[in-house]
Chains A and B, each alone.
Chain A
């Protein structure tokens, strides 16, 4: 296991959101966490990325307790991209991506040729080289999200946690970002854990789906095992048909609800 949550209890203050949850992330896989709003999926991701300290249980990175490893060492193997991050106005793409090199720099050695090639590579990989000198706030939503992912790439970690990387994006840009994620996975065998809202895209781009409700894992496994009509009823309280995606063959969710007949 690359990353593991063992009987974690998570919450903010007195409010417990997740209690006694176990989850393991296999190396070299794309794991996607799905679940209704407030089910604790983002909270779990934050704990996996040591942004939230568990109230009980532990998170293990490569078998070692993550809170016992110096945070800067963690930052060299594990990158986290929170939901809808904000940048100061006027920050350029190149500057943002360069900040991904932070864990590799010391106060006396701020910039090395390693940093330079990592930044150049991250920019090229995300297709942002031509936009390097543009301020982030002049970019489209999809480009901006790619810039943040590019920063996480420059960090040079082979483990990436992405919290709803497609929020606020239209469908075309969602696909663009997820194609990039898949490419990162294929090109360098990175291990990726992400939280997604769109079930069909989740099924399309994940090796493994984890469905959560009320702070518990209801089902975990390959998309076609997890995404069933019974699970949708249990987890989302949604009546839906699940048919094979005509393009990829992965499960496709068609909600029933009330509808028009032609």
Chain B
């Protein structure tokens, strides 16, 4: 076959990827509509449209604008962040079971929040989240630095995973000890730990938005380098890729994304772990497509899990973190049983 006959096939592959991207976007829009209209008070789509475009202060206008929109926005942001962070993490560690929490962000955020309540008298949600964010960043930088000890040219996936596990275990022990000493810290901590996107308000959305946006940009910049790296360090280097820089940008992106998400919503179990496995059959191994697919699927998944949590236990609600764990665990077992997790 001549070179000119191959070109249309390459076009075909590209076209198919764009179609999938469009489909996933449509799924996310559907999730957004459900999240805005369904809840303890169902709002018909027309009323919801009314609240969005020309609010007049009716009951449904208030519910939509002050509760459902921030909640939906936070769901989209954290889902995007965790989906992309999960795909990045699995790509960098070449481990299909890697999770963004591996960098110690979850335990870092938890410890910083509890410490801020006990010692600094932090009392508003907005303040906790700043501390959580700082804790996530510091923990992840610490893990990265520890992972570099003794290695040449940046941390390797193995040293990173070991350092992450050690730091997480250490911080978890500290946090557990602290919450036992302080009842108020315990209450706040439990509320945060369950993993929820409800009752956060628009301020929290604006607070984490810049971090997640920066993380998404870094992730997309990192995608081509990660593609090269997935062929092994020697091939990546021969393709002109700077390995240490690629790893550093990747870790920075994962830290911003999962740190912001975990600070705002608590731990949303399984999103970072499962979503890349759902995206990979659609995207193949090209991270330039895998990352956006993972982001969109992650966002849709968080919204749908949140909507399910609103309707399964009336008149109360189930936190999205709980619903995700309930769907996620069996789903993951099924995924592992049906097909061996891929070698990355």
Where the two chains meet, the residues of A that have a C-beta atom closer than 8 Å to any C-beta of B are 46, 49-51, 70-76, 78-82, 85-92, 94-96, 98-100, 102-103, 105, 107, 110-111, 116-117, 119-121, 123-124, 129-130, 132-133, 155
Contact = CB atoms under 8 A, between A and B. Distances in A.
B237 interface: yes
Given A71-B240, A74-B240, A105-B224, A120 B6 contact: yes
Nearest to B4: A120
B119 to A, nearest CB: 43
Contacts of B288: 110
Contacts of A91: 230, 284-285
Interface of B: 1-7, 9-10, 13-14, 94, 220-221, 224, 227-228, 230-232, 234-235, 237-242, 280, 284-286, 288, 342-344
A124 B241 contact: no
B240 A89 contact: no
Given A88-B230, A120-B7, A129 B343 contact: no
15 contacts: A49-B238, A51-B237, A70-B240, A72-B241, A78-B238, A82-B234, A86-B231, A88-B230, A90-B342, A95-B284, A105-B224, A117-B3, A120-B3, A129-B2, A132-B6
Nearest to B342: A89
B343 A89 contact: yes
A90 B6 contact: no
Contacts of A72: 240-241
Given A102-B228, A120-B6, A90 B285 contact: yes
A129 B234 CA distance: 26
Interface-central residue, A74, A79, A99, A133, by most chain B CB under 10 Å: A99
A96 B10 CA distance: 12
A82 B1 contact: no
Nearest to B238: A80
B240 A75 contact: yes
Contact of A100 (B10, B14, B239, B280): B239
Given A88-B342, A90-B342, A121-B3, A51 B239 contact: no
A110 B224 contact: yes
A50 B228 contact: no
